[in-house]
Amino acid sequence: MDTISIQYEIFGAIKTTLPDIKGEINIPKGTTLKDLLIKEADIKEEHHKYLNITVNGRDYPLNKKLKNRQRIKILLPVGGG
């Protein structure tokens, strides 16, 4: 199976199975951003609406396939009062 390499960075208190808050992983070619969140990071789908996610600094559709060497940032905004 072909794989691609992506870089990721996580900001905020997000529960995930990714090995660190910043790193690089290999994922199967054809993986969508949604697949990455669910299958690789183990972030439940109902939590996706609370996250701000960018790919190479821009918004990216969850159902779009990721490409080799893309940079993904996942942010859980913190609110206060």
Q: Could you list the mean pLDDT of each consecutive 10-residue stretch along the chain, which spans 81 residues?
A: 94 90 96 96 92 96 97 88 60
Tell me the residue range of the domain where 59 lies: 3-75
- Identify whether 81 is part of a domain: no
CATH code, 61: 3.10.20.30
**According to the model, what pLDDT value does residue 17 have?**
92
Structural domains counted in the chain: 1
**According to the model, what pLDDT value does residue 66 have?**
98
Task: For residue 57, give every residue at least 6 positions away whose Cβ sits within 8 Å of its Cβ, in sequence order, or none.
Answer: 71, 73
CA nearest neighbour of 4 among 57, 67, 75: 67
Global pTM reads: 0.89
CA nearest neighbour of 27 among 44, 7, 4, 10: 4
**According to the model, what pLDDT value does residue 67 have?**
97
- Identify whether 80 is part of a domain: no
